[in-house]
Amino acid sequence: MVRHTTYLKTNGIAYAVTRMFHLTSALFTLFLAWGLWVNLGEGVRLVTMPHIPLLLLLSLAAATYRDTWIFDTTAKT
């Protein structure tokens, strides 16, 4: 689940994805990349583990996901 929080800015507030979500997703991505690298190094075929690259791509997408709403009080937006 994507978690959002409110951040106070100098000209208003921003409603954005939490930093913890990005950190957790990035760590999971690194863990999956390490596991894929180790298994491929040991000679395990990629066909036997299709879930690892799929989860790696999904966690990479989650780690780089940006969703922010900015409510600027000076510009009235």
Say yes or no to pLDDT of 66 above 70: yes
Distant-in-sequence, close-in-space partners of 5: CB < 8 Å, separation ≥ 6: 15, 16, 18
Say yes or no to pLDDT of 2 above 90: no
Task: Identify the pLDDT of residue 77.
Answer: 59
Give the mean pLDDT of 46-75. Answer: 90
Assess whether pLDDT exceeds 70 at residue 60.
Answer: yes
Question: Domain limits of the chain?
Answer: 4-72
| This model's pTM is above 0.85 | no
Residue among 37, 24, 33, 39 at smallest CA distance from 55: 33
Q: How confident is the model at residue 51 (pLDDT cuts 50, 70, 90)?
A: very high
Mean pLDDT, range 10-32, rounded to an integer: 92
Mean pLDDT of the chain: 90
Sign of the dihedral defined by the CA atoms of residues 52, 58, 61, 63, in that order: negative
